[in-house]
């Protein structure tokens, strides 16, 4: 077993070492981009004793991340590492101030999204797709239509091979290990060959061996074609720490060091902070940052750093070297050359990637959804079986009520129960789907995989047909068992209104899930439906108090219920037989409709009102999702 593990690790290490050579053939040359920032601040609004106060997380930090280098943003928990990464990536812009530069030119958001990608701490990938399917979908969505099918397949296979995922290509993503998921997250974004990669806490949750392999992979990706790689890191081992080209250390939103890892100890030694012998420099940095060596000393370091920005960005040039210390002299020469190159780089312009049109995006997203639905068979079968089982139970309980004058009120209760059941199943089936989907959607949308409209269309093209199928599975047995009139017109109206009502309720489920937290939406959604269902059944229009009349007309559940009842007993239906009774009060259906105040129901305006409610809800849902995705 140990031998097998050894072979596995050697294979993955060899794969990581071959990334540079393989990717040189995979991608065309892209511009080298140095990312720098000056006086960057970030402020959030908090509440203290019911008062709104502003809290500054970043306090005017300045730095320079060079192309061809792997940079780690380090510091203790709560120091602002992820916040800085979010601001630099453009993931958060509201509340930030200062300047961010690309090769000395002020960053343009459109340009930034075209040359960079952001991989968050959690591995937000599609669990029900294989690694190869995920890559194929990403290639179809992100690459221009001019790229041929064979070139996309070749790129996918080469990337999987380069990142050591080819042997796991047909493995469902949820069965991948943590390190494999992180490599897949990078592979998905490498399809467009970005110049800048931001990665938040890439080593979290990985064992030491996986961490070492993953950092080696990032080093190769940085050195290959001079990519700018920036990641956040909490507290790495000494071996891991040495693999980084540059570290940027924060404490309480202020920077105390930027430079190579091997110069950490002499830098702080010159400032009177001595690292104990045989101590991990990374641990030493964190101890300095949290104030273990004195908060007064820490304040002096941050103050001197802020006061000398130019000297700070070239901090690695300030150490005196002995004439015989050739290694230190060579290090300083390399750093000097690197900084000189950074200053000579000119602003650049990038061409916008010609993404596939909206209909092709919708098509590929639809195929992806179909694959995921097929693999979630237990959920689909549960919905089908539940509709069929409730249909048979309702059909048995209310058997024969549809053609019996003495059971007309029971039939009305059956129609109401049917309406409410399909409303609930339509809503509850999707009310938690968007919250579970949102984090993956946000990553894909931020990294410009697709636009929002094709995404919504692809979701509806899967959900709506399946919900219609579930409704039909319920309606047919229930309709026959309850002895409803076997007339095509009445059956069509019965089915049409119930299906449209269920789909409208489904749209309210999407809206609740997109707008509210899960715990709130699963409560508000059903309560909203119950409130609307009361009108028209539990209370008549003439009995409703004036302030609540608008709810009567607003309720799509009421419109559906009254229209279904009218379609069963209206349109000149004949006198009903009266079974097992001497006298039936509602033998004439018209009398029943008059007493229930349903005689004046016009089903066509009611149908268009339900459809209008359906469309408005989806428009509102799309607007809410768009706002949440673009809120920075």
pLDDT for the residue numbered 330: 38
Q: Are residues 378 and 434 in the same domain?
A: yes
Domain membership of residue 513 as a residue range: 358-630
Domain boundary residue, one of 344, 368, 384: 344
7 assigned to some structural domain = no
Q: Are 430 and 463 a contacting pair, CB within 8 Å?
A: yes
Tell me which residues of the chain have a pLDDT lower than 70.
1-30, 47-50, 123, 294-297, 300, 302-353, 580-582, 632
pLDDT for the residue numbered 359: 92
163 assigned to some structural domain = no
pLDDT for the residue numbered 144: 86
pLDDT for the residue numbered 391: 96
DSSP of 426-480: HHHTTTTHHHHHHHHHHHHHHTTS--HHHHHHHHHHHHHHHHHHHHHHHHHHHHH
Which residue's structure tokens are 């008062």?
A: 51
Tokens of 391: 């249909």
6 assigned to some structural domain = no
Q: Are residues 337 and 367 in the same domain?
A: no
Q: Which is nearest to 75 in space by CA: 271, 263, 290, 265?
A: 290
Q: How many domains does the chain have?
A: 2
Q: Are residues 256 and 377 in the same domain?
A: no
Residue 291's region, left for phi above 0, alpha for psi from -120 to 50, else beta, is left
CA distances 619 to 454, 613, 614, 626, Å, are 13, 10, 9, 11
237 assigned to some structural domain = yes
Whole-angstrom distance, CA of residue 289 vs CA of residue 556: 60
Show the CA angle centred on residue 547, arms to residues 541 and 549, nearest 5°: 25
Q: Are residues 375 and 490 in the same domain?
A: yes
DSSP of 525-553: HHHHHHHHHHBTTTB-GGGS-GGGHHHHH
pLDDT for the residue numbered 312: 38
Q: Are residues 331 and 376 in the same domain?
A: no
Whole-angstrom distance, CA of residue 406 vs CA of residue 411: 10
Q: Are residues 417 and 278 in the same domain?
A: no
167 assigned to some structural domain = no
> What is the Cα 318 distance to its own chain's centre?
45
pLDDT for the residue numbered 346: 52
Q: Are residues 323 and 407 in the same domain?
A: no
Q: What do you get for the CA distance between the two ends of the chain, in Å?
A: 49
Q: Are residues 336 and 372 in the same domain?
A: no
**562-582 in b/e burial notation, b at 16+ Cβ within 10 A?**
bbbbbbbbbeebeebebeeee
Q: Are residues 369 and 325 in the same domain?
A: no
CATH code of 258's domain: 3.40.50.300
- The secondary element (H helix, E strand) that includes residue 51 is strand 51-65
Q: Are residues 292 and 403 in the same domain?
A: no
Q: Are residues 36 and 89 in the same domain?
A: yes
461 assigned to some structural domain = yes
Domain boundary residue, one of 344, 370, 402: 344
Q: Would you call 10 exposed, middle or buried from its count of C-beta atoms within 10 A (0-12, 13-18, 19+)? A: exposed
Collapse the DSSP code of 156 into the 3-class scheme (helix H, G, I; strand E, B; otherwise coil) and give the result: helix
Q: Are residues 118 and 48 in the same domain?
A: yes
379 assigned to some structural domain = yes
pLDDT for the residue numbered 315: 43
pLDDT for the residue numbered 304: 56
162 assigned to some structural domain = no
Q: H-type helices in 42-177, by residue range? A: 81-89, 109-115, 131-142, 149-162
Q: Are 362 and 454 a contacting pair, CB within 8 Å?
A: yes
Q: Are 231 and 206 a contacting pair, CB within 8 Å?
A: no
Domain boundary residue, one of 317, 344, 371: 344
């Amino acid at each position: 077993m140990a031998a097998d593990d050894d072979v596995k690790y050697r294979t993955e290490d060899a794969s990581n070492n071959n990334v540079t050579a393989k990717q040189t053939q995979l991608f065309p040359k892209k511009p080298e981009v140095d990312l720098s920032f000056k006086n960057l601040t970030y402020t959030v609004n908090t509440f203290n004793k019911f008062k709104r106060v502003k809290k500054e997380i970043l306090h005017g930090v300045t730095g320079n991340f060079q192309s061809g280098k792997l940079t780690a943003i380090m510091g203790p928990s709560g120091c602002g590492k992820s916040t800085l990464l979010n601001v630099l990536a453009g993931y958060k812009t509201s509340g930030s101030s200062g300047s961010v530069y690309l090769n000395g030119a002020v960053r343009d958001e459109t340009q930034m999204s075209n040359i960079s990608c952001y991989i968050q701490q959690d591995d937000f990938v599609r669990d029900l797709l294989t690694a190869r399917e995920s890559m194929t979908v990403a290639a179809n969505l992100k690459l221009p239509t001019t790229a041929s099918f064979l070139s996309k397949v070749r790129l996918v296979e080469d990337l999987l091979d380069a990142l050591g995922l080819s042997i796991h290509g047909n493995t469902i993503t949820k069965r991948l290990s943590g390190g494999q998921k992180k490599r897949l997250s990078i592979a998905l974004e490498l399809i467009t060959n970005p110049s800048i990669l931001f990665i938040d806490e890439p080593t979290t949750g990985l064992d030491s061996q996986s961490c070492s392999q993953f950092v080696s992979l990032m080093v190769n990706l940085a050195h290959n074609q001079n990519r700018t790689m920036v990641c956040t890191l909490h507290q790495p081992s000494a071996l891991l720490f040495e693999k980084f080209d540059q570290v940027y250390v924060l404490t309480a939103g202020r920077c105390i060091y930027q430079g190579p890892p091997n110069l950490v100890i002499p830098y702080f030694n010159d400032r009177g902070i001595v690292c104990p012998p045989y101590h991990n420099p990374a641990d030493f940095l964190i101890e300095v940052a949290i104030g273990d060596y004195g908060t007064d000393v820490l304040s002096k370091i941050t103050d001197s750093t802020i006061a000398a920005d130019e000297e700070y960005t070239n901090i690695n040039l300030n150490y005196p070297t002995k004439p015989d210390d050739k290694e230190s002299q060579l290090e300083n020469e390399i750093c000097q050359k690197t900084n000189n190159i950074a200053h000579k780089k000119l602003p650049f312009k990038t061409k916008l990637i010609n993404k596939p049109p909206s209909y092709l995006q919708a098509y590929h997203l639809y195929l992806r959804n179909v694959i995921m639905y097929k693999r979630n068979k237990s959920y689909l079968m549960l919905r089908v079986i539940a509709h069929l089982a409730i249909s048979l139970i309702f059909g048995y309980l209310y058997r024969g009520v549809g053609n019996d004058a003495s059971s007309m009120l029971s039939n009305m209760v059956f129609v109401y129960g049917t309406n409410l059941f399909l409303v609930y199943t339509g809503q509850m089936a999707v009310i938690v789907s968007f919250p579970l989907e949102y984090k993956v959607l946000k990553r894909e949308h931020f990294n410009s995989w697709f636009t929002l409209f094709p995404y919504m269309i692809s979701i509806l093209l899967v959900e709506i047909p399946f919900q219609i199928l579930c409704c039909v599975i319920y309606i047919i047995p229930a309709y026959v068992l309850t002895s409803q009139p076997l007339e095509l017109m009445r059956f069509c109206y019965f089915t049409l209104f119930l299906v449209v009502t269920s789909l409208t309720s489904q749209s309210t489920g999407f809206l609740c899930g997109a707008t509210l937290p899960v715990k709130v939406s699963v409560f508000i959604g059903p309560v909203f439906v119950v409130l609307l269902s009361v009108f028209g059944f539990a209370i008549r229009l003439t009995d409703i108090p004036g302030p609540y009349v608008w709810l009567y007309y607003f309720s799509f559940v009421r419109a559906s219920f009254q229209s279904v009842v009218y379609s069963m007993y209206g349109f000149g239906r004949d006198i009903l037989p009266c079974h097992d009774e001497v006298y039936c009060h509602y033998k004439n259906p018209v009398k029943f409709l008059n007493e229930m105040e349903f005689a004046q129901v016009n089903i066509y305006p009611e149908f268009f009102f339900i459809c209008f409610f359906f469309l408005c809800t989806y428009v509102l849902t799309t607007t809410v999702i768009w706002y949440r995705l673009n809120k920075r």
